[in-house]
Amino acid sequence: MPQVFFENERCKGCELCVTVCPKKIIALSAGEINSFGFHPAVLTDGTKCTGCGFCFLVCPDLAVTVVREEGGNGESTDEGE
Ligand code: SF4
Ligand code: SF4
């Protein structure tokens, strides 16, 4: 299953990732506030994430990391020898 991580201290709460997520599973955290006074983005239901990476691509502050499993069985593929 893909995993999405938000770096709270980089997030400025612009909601671009909230808007772009096709699964609508990103929201601004109502209860959290970072040291700049912004409510950071959080995942509301990680089980629905497709790993599309749109949230990563749209974030202007590099606050999002998307980890996708390549190959589906945890194997790492090495293109070389
Ligand atoms: S990777 Fe795609 S589906 Fe998952 S949280 Fe980001 S935008 Fe939404
Ligand atoms: S796009 Fe980036 S800065 Fe904007 S709310 Fe999402 S994680 Fe925060």
- Over residues 18-64, the pLDDT tens digits come to 999 999 999 999 999 999 999 999 999 999 999 999 999 999 999 99
Cα distance between residue 54 and residue 18, in whole Å = 10
CA of 33 to the centre of ligand 1 (A): 22
- Cβ–ligand 1 contact at 58 (below 6 Å): no
- Which domains does the chain carry? 3-67 (3.30.70.20)
**Ligand number, closest to the Cα atom of 2:** 1
Ligand 1 binding pocket mutation candidate from 19, 28, 54 (most atoms within 8 A of CB): 54
Residues 6+ apart with CB under 8 A from 49: 1, 2, 3, 4, 23, 25, 43
Q: What is the pLDDT of residue 61?
A: 97
